[in-house]
């Protein structure tokens, strides 16, 4: 099989993993002339975008899509009839370097089907990273999938070479994983996430103590995970509770939500319908509210519904359920309160707080703050604006935010 | 009227010098025009006499210099005048930049942001093509930036691709790297750039394969990769056919019934934990394995793992704590966090070797509520303590210690089988009906929570004292035996 055909199979096999981030790692470059590559700390770089709207930052491939496991939701499950392929370690290394030199990618995201044993599989994955770092002095970004039961020495080595490590929790509910992925064990997944966090904490603490010897490097971009949405019956409340638990327990950088998507040669046991993309989007918005806007997982989803509304965003839905807290005077409200105004982003709030010390904020300023007027106006008081009480209390307010028909066309 | 002429489109130093002289001579923004040398024929307009050489200096916020350095790279020809107007106004109001709603501030900020974004997109969308092979190859790219950003963006490529010679050709200027330094030459025509690379077919297959046709989001793609960049991206010619095929591919996947698997699909029932544990003495390793799957109460759901007891099977003392904490939950071992370190120190001072005792908890899963990036400890309730007591009983039966030290209220409740106040019972061995001898004391994490250093020190001394009593009780029983 030629390399191009292998790449087609093994990229196709990797695309259901949503993560492609290249951000948040340490700063590295090659200005010493002894290596190749650099990282952009803080902000990753997306070198391209596919028509599915997803960023292409890394060469995201599987080492092999042969797999002993039979996870029903997975394109690579052992009972699927998809064509199989396997890269050699050298093939992935060369492809990464070749792509990198042409500025196609920030680095490599390598995962693998489970072959022979977890340790054997992990060793294969680690040896690609080892070769890139040690032989080719590659200083770009590396994300490695961690195999849950793998030996501690292999995990230490993975953390030495990788920027980010990840293990997918897959299902929001423990019994769904048992049902859909009988070989996977949520306990083993969580134990390994725990192991990773202890090593991440240790590396960070050692990094702070200047007197000690150089700390063991361990995945400076941290760990992340992914949950599949819509394959099981878990509601949004359950999903967000699971996320809150994972963020708190393992200090994850990100929980990715991946709408269950039809796959070639799908299992009969799963819903063969278009992926719930809008639901996925709402979950990301809710996730953001929890991490950056001071919301608690419990208040974002309406207790009686269990699901986020699809037609409006979760912050607007929250505001409509808590109208007694509005309108809010932008001149005096606290940062925490401003963050809860529909249409106000974190940067807009920071700018409002800096500006209002010097001058009052008027209706005409909203555009310069990049705040959508239509969404925000019913909820705020400005020096030259006060919403009518009838609007805020009326039943028509919700109607005002009903979306127009979605445009999916593509004009050429 | 003053007509200022700058050396180039990116001549920030020239602008800065001119603006300083203008401002110090009190020349109003409306009395200045700006242009770049050789971008237009000389106009025969009456010009004001040359400016006096500037006397003195004045200060501007550092943030203004940062903004101006970026905004001056914008392609808008009005940028020099706008920046001078902002500078002029800043002299009268030093806080002006904080007023992000001011139209001049907003416009300069928007220009700086546009330049920054264009630089970021250049880092992303430059595509090198290899000329020559391996050792002697040279990587050349053609790029059409929106603003004057080539000099700004070049150092990024120098740091990233330091070990290979490269050139980025653009219509404005070109940047080159020879392994030592970046050099800038005049712009060239697109025909100067190479038209192919041997890896491009492979890259295009990757692009097509990583795309999921079942989740078309064309607007999201175009927002981040606007069409103006497409003509220089080798993968962009695939966009249209991929979109046109997507609906068909996706509905074909949905319509096609699953084929028969070529390997038998064996579905296992989810494992069920034994409802009732066996009675009788086991060794600790057997118990530990059994407890790993314990679902006797709901605490297992949110925790990482069962944290079972640990220590010598022949231990004469069994220490019982409340429940594992954050660290213990991650490590799967009891007393390894801050409370564990406190306990180790106290044991050492009391003359007890931790390796010779058995350490466990009344409740074996961590109970907590997540709060952002931390987990807040929650006290276990009576049903949880009761559900977990079976493990304590079986540990007790397996270890047969001479003395159980119950640390804190939860441990006392589990060990005594009922709520037992600490202070009334602490500090003296108590014999239970089942023959267990118990010493009650506080939990080490109680000491960690005391806010007052003095109280902490004296409570710590009492804790060590209690442990010494435990050690003493042991020696006595050893003598008696």
pLDDT at A412: 42
- Phi and psi at B147, nearest 5°, equal -120, -175
A220, A245, A275 - which closes a domain: A275
Which of the four pLDDT bands, split at 50, 70 and 90, describes residue A304?
confident
Q: Is B195 on the interface with A (CB under 8 A)?
A: no
In a domain, B364, yes or no: yes
How confident is the model over A215-225, as pLDDT tens digits?
A: 689 999 999 99
**Of residues A10, A128, A123, the one with CA closest to residue A76:** A10
User: Per-residue pLDDT for B326 more than 50?
Assistant: yes
The average pLDDT across A201-207 equals: 83
A275, A290, A322 - which closes a domain: A275
Please tell me which of the candidates A56, A70, A103 has its beta carbon nearest to residue B128. A103
For B103, the closest chain A residue by CA position comes to: A368
For A270, the closest chain B residue by CA position comes to: B258
Start-to-end Cα distance in chain A: 37
The Cα A379–Cα A370 span in angstroms is: 16
In a domain, A307, yes or no: no
How confident is the model over B438-459, as pLDDT tens digits?
A: 999 999 999 999 999 999 999 9
pLDDT at B56: 75
User: Per-residue pLDDT for B40 more than 90?
Assistant: no
The average pLDDT across A177-186 equals: 91
Among the listed ranges A318-332, B239-253, B398-412, which one has the minimum average pLDDT value? B239-253
Same domain assignment for residues B31 and B87: yes
Mutate to test the interface with B, among A36, A48, A407 (most CBs of B within 10 A): A48
Same domain assignment for residues A242 and A320: no
Q: Is B335 on the interface with A (CB under 8 A)?
A: no
Same domain assignment for residues A259 and A324: no
How confident is the model over A134-154, as pLDDT tens digits?
A: 999 999 999 999 999 899 999
pLDDT at A380: 95
In a domain, A329, yes or no: yes
Residue pairs between chains A and B whose CB atoms are closer than 8 Å:
252
Query: Are the beta carbons of A328 and A338 closer than 8 angstroms?
Result: yes
**Of residues B364, B366, B369, B308, the one with CA closest to residue B333:** B308
A254, A275, A296 - which closes a domain: A275
In a domain, B473, yes or no: yes
Q: In what order do the strands lie in the sheet with B317-321?
A: B310-311, B358-361, B317-321, B403-407, B437-441, B430-431
In a domain, A293, yes or no: no
For B241, the closest chain A residue by CA position comes to: A51
Element (H, E) at A62: strand A58-62
In a domain, B305, yes or no: yes
- CATH code: domain of residue A59: 3.20.20
Q: Is A42 left (phi over 0), alpha (psi -120 to 50) or beta?
A: left
In a domain, A346, yes or no: yes
- Chain B, 148-187: which have a CB under 8 Å from a chain A CB? 156-164, 179
Same domain assignment for residues A328 and A188: no
Q: Is the ipTM of this complex over 0.85?
A: yes
- Chain B, 40-99: which have a CB under 8 Å from a chain A CB? 95, 98-99
Q: Which domain holds residue B40?
A: 2-120
pLDDT at A215: 66
How confident is the model over A28-73, as pLDDT tens digits?
A: 999 998 999 999 877 889 999 999 999 999 999 999 999 999 999 9
Question: Which residue has 């078309």 as its token pair?
Answer: B216
Chain A partners within 8 Å of B130 (Cβ) = 101-102
Among the listed ranges A249-263, B65-79, B105-119, which one has the minimum average pLDDT value? A249-263
Q: Is B378 on the interface with A (CB under 8 A)?
A: no
User: Per-residue pLDDT for B267 more than 80?
Assistant: no
Which of the four pLDDT bands, split at 50, 70 and 90, describes residue B259?
low
pLDDT at A391: 79
Chain B partners within 8 Å of A55 (Cβ) = 224
B104, B120, B136 - which closes a domain: B120
Same domain assignment for residues A267 and A322: no
pLDDT at A408: 47
Mutate to test the interface with A, among B98, B100, B197 (most CBs of A within 10 A): B100
Whole-number percent of chain B with pLDDT over 90: 78
User: Per-residue pLDDT for B19 more than 90?
Assistant: yes
The Cα A345–Cα B30 span in angstroms is: 37
Q: Which domain holds residue A263?
A: 3-275
User: Per-residue pLDDT for A287 more than 60?
Assistant: yes
For A361, the closest chain B residue by CA position comes to: B101
pLDDT at B378: 95
Chain B partners within 8 Å of A43 (Cβ) = 120
For B245, the closest chain A residue by CA position comes to: A51
B92, B120, B148 - which closes a domain: B120
pLDDT at A411: 40
In a domain, B267, yes or no: no
In a domain, A187, yes or no: yes
In a domain, A127, yes or no: yes
pLDDT at A410: 43
Chain B partners within 8 Å of A257 (Cβ) = none
Write down the pTM of the prediction. Answer: 0.91
In a domain, B266, yes or no: no
Please tell me which of the candidates B126, B201, B259 has its beta carbon nearest to residue A103. B126
The average pLDDT across A159-182 equals: 93
pLDDT at A398: 80
Same domain assignment for residues B9 and B111: yes
In a domain, B220, yes or no: yes
In a domain, B423, yes or no: yes
| DSSP summary character for residue B183 | E
Same domain assignment for residues A226 and A328: no
pLDDT at A302: 87
Same domain assignment for residues B182 and B244: no
Same domain assignment for residues B153 and B235: no
Same domain assignment for residues A63 and A147: yes
Same domain assignment for residues A43 and A154: yes
Same domain assignment for residues A56 and A138: yes
Same domain assignment for residues B82 and B132: no
Same domain assignment for residues A138 and A261: yes
pLDDT at B321: 96
Domain count of the fold of chain B: 4
Same domain assignment for residues A118 and A236: yes
Which of the four pLDDT bands, split at 50, 70 and 90, describes residue A308?
very high
How confident is the model over A320-345, as pLDDT tens digits?
A: 999 999 999 999 999 999 999 999 99
Same domain assignment for residues B312 and B416: yes
Same domain assignment for residues B83 and B226: no
Same domain assignment for residues B210 and B167: no
| Higher pLDDT pick, A56 / B279 | A56
How confident is the model over B70-101, as pLDDT tens digits?
A: 999 999 999 999 999 999 999 989 899 999 88
Mean of all residue pLDDT scores within chain B:
90
B60, B91, B120 - which closes a domain: B120
Chain B partners within 8 Å of A54 (Cβ) = 210, 212, 217
User: Per-residue pLDDT for B265 more than 90?
Assistant: no
Chain A partners within 8 Å of B308 (Cβ) = none
Whole-number percent of chain B with pLDDT over 70: 90
DSSP B115-179: HHHHHHHHHHH---EEES-GGG-EEEEE---SSS-HHHHHHHHHHHSTTS-EEEE-SSEEEEE-S
Query: Are the beta carbons of B8 and B36 closer than 8 angstroms?
Result: yes
Chain A partners within 8 Å of B263 (Cβ) = 78-79
pLDDT at B481: 46
pLDDT at B212: 92
User: Per-residue pLDDT for B257 more than 70?
Assistant: no
In a domain, A199, yes or no: yes
Tokens of B49: 């006499």
Chain B partners within 8 Å of A272 (Cβ) = 253-254
Long-range CB pairs of B242-251, under 8 A, 24+ apart, other chains included? B242/A50, B242/A51, B242/B208, B242/B211, B242/B213, B243/A51, B243/A410, B243/B216, B243/B218, B245/B213, B246/A51, B246/B213, B246/B214, B246/B216, B247/B213, B247/B216, B249/B213, B249/B214, B250/A262, B250/A274, B250/B213, B250/B214, B250/B216
Same domain assignment for residues B466 and B428: yes
In a domain, A147, yes or no: yes
Most confident by average pLDDT, A105-119, B40-54, B263-277 = A105-119
- Chain B, 395-424: which have a CB under 8 Å from a chain A CB? none
For B124, the closest chain A residue by CA position comes to: A47
In a domain, B258, yes or no: no
| DSSP summary character for residue A134 | I
Same domain assignment for residues B87 and B131: no
Among the listed ranges A398-402, B167-171, B230-234, which one has the minimum average pLDDT value? A398-402
Same domain assignment for residues A241 and A320: no
Same domain assignment for residues A268 and A323: no
How confident is the model over B136-176, as pLDDT tens digits?
A: 899 999 999 999 999 999 999 999 999 999 999 999 999 99
Domain count of the fold of chain A: 2
pLDDT at A402: 74
pLDDT at B434: 87
Q: How many other C-beta atoms are found inside a 10 Å radius of the C-beta of residue A53?
A: 19
Which of the four pLDDT bands, split at 50, 70 and 90, describes residue B261?
low
How confident is the model over A122-131, as pLDDT tens digits?
A: 999 999 999 9
Same domain assignment for residues B334 and B406: yes
Chain B partners within 8 Å of A49 (Cβ) = 220-221, 224-225
| CB-based contacts of B425, cutoff 8 Å, min separation 6 | B412, B440
Same domain assignment for residues B216 and B346: no
């Amino acid at each position: 099989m030629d390399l191009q055909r292998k790449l087609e199979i093994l990229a196709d096999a990797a695309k259901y993993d949503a993560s492609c981030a290249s951000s948040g790692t340490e700063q590295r470059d090659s200005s010493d002339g002894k290596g190749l590559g650099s990282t952009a700390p803080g902000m990753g770089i997306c070198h391209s975008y596919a028509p599915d709207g997803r960023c292409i930052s890394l060469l995201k491939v599987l080492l092999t899509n042969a797999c002993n496991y039979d996870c029903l939701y997975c394109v690579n499950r052992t009972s699927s009839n998809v064509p199989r392929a396997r890269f050699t370690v050298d093939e992935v290394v060369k492809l990464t370097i070749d792509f990198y030199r042409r500025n196609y990618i920030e680095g490599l995201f390598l995962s693998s089907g489970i072959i022979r044993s977890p340790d054997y599989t992990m060793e294969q994955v680690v040896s690609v990273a080892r070769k890139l770092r040690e032989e080719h002095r590659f200083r770009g970004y590396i994300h490695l999938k961690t195999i849950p039961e793998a030996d501690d020495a292999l995990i230490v080595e993975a953390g030495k070479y990788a920027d980010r490590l990840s293990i997918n929790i897959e299902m929001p509910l423990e019994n769904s994983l048992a049902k859909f992925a009988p070989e996977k064990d949520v306990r083993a997944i969580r134990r390994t996430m725990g192991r990773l966090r202890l090593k991440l904490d240790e590396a960070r603490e050692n990094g702070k103590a200047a007197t000690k010897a150089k700390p063991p490097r361990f995945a400076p971009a941290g760990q992340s995970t992914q949950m599949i949405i819509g394959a099981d019956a878990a509601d949004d409340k359950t999903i967000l509770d699971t996320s809150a638990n994972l963020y708190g327990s393992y200090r994850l950088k990100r929980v990715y939500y991946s709408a269950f998507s039809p796959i070639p040669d799908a299992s009969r046991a799963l819903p063969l319908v278009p992926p719930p993309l809008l639901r996925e989007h709402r979950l990301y918005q809710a996730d953001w509210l929890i991490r950056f806007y001071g919301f608690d997982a419990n208040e974002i989803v309406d207790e009686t519904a269990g699901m986020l509304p699809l037609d409006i965003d979760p912050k607007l839905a929250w505001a409509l359920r808590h109208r007694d807290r509005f309108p809010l005077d932008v001149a005096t409200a606290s940062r925490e309160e401003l963050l809860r105004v529909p249409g106000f982003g974190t940067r807009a709030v920071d700018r409002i707080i800096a500006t209002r010390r010097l001058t009052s904020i008027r209706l005409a300023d909203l555009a310069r703050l990049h705040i959508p007027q239509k969404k925000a106006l019913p909820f705020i008081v400005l020096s030259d604006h006060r919403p009518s009480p009838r609007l805020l209390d009326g039943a028509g307010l919700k109607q005002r935010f009903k979306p127009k028909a979605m445009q999916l066309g593509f004009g050429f | 009227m003053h007509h200022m002429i700058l050396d180039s489109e990116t001549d920030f130093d020239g602008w800065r010098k001119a603006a300083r002289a203008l401002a110090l001579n009190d020349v109003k923004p409306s009395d200045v025009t700006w242009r770049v040398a050789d971008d237009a024929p000389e106009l025969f307009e009456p010009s004001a006499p040359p400016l006096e050489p500037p006397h003195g200096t004045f200060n501007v916020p550092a943030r203004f210099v940062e903004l101006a350095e970026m905004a001056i790279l914008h392609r808008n020809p009005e940028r020099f005048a706008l920046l001078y107007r902002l500078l002029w106004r800043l002299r009268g109001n030093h806080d002006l930049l904080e007023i992000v709603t001011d139209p001049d501030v907003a416009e300069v900020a928007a220009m700086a942001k546009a330049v920054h974004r264009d630089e970021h997109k250049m880092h992303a969308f430059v595509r090198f093509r290899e000329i020559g092979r391996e050792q002697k190859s040279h990587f050349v790219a053609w790029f059409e930036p929106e603003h004057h950003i080539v000099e700004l963006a070049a150092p990024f490529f120098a740091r990233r691709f330091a070990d290979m010679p490269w050139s980025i050709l653009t219509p404005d200027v070109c940047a080159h790297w020879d392994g030592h330094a970046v050099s800038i030459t005049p712009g060239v025509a697109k025909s100067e750039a190479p038209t192919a690379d041997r890896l491009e077919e492979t890259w295009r297959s990757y692009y097509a394969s990583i795309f999921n046709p079942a989740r078309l989001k064309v607007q999201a793609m175009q927002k981040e990769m606007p069409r103006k960049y497409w003509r220089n991206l080798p993968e962009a010619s695939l966009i249209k056919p991929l979109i046109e095929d997507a609906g068909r591919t996706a509905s074909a996947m949905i319509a096609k019934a699953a084929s028969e698997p070529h390997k038998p699909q064996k579905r296992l029932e989810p494992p069920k934990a034994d409802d009732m544990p066996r009675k009788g003495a086991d060794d600790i390793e057997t118990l530990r394995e059994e407890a790993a799957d314990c679902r006797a109460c709901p605490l297992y759901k949110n925790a990482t793992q069962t944290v079972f007891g640990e220590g010598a099977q022949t231990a004469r003392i069994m220490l019982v704590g409340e429940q594992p904490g954050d660290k213990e939950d991650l490590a799967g071992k009891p007393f390894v966090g801050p409370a564990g370190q406190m306990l180790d120190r106290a044991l050492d001072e009391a003359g007890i070797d931790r390796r010779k005792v058995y350490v466990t908890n009344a409740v074996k899963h961590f109970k907590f509520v997540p709060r952002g990036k931390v987990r807040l400890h929650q006290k276990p309730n009576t049903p949880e303590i009761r559900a977990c007591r079976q493990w304590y009983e079986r540990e007790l039966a397996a270890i047969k210690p001479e003395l159980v030290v119950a640390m804190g209220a939860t441990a006392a409740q589990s060990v005594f089988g009922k709520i037992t106040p600490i202070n009334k019972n602490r500090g003296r061995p108590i014999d239970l009906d089942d023959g267990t001898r118990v010493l009650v004391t506080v939990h080490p994490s109680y000491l960690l929570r005391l806010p007052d250093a003095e109280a902490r020190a004296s409570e710590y001394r009492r804790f060590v004292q209690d442990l010494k009593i435990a050690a003493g009780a042991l020696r006595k029983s050893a003598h008696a035996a």
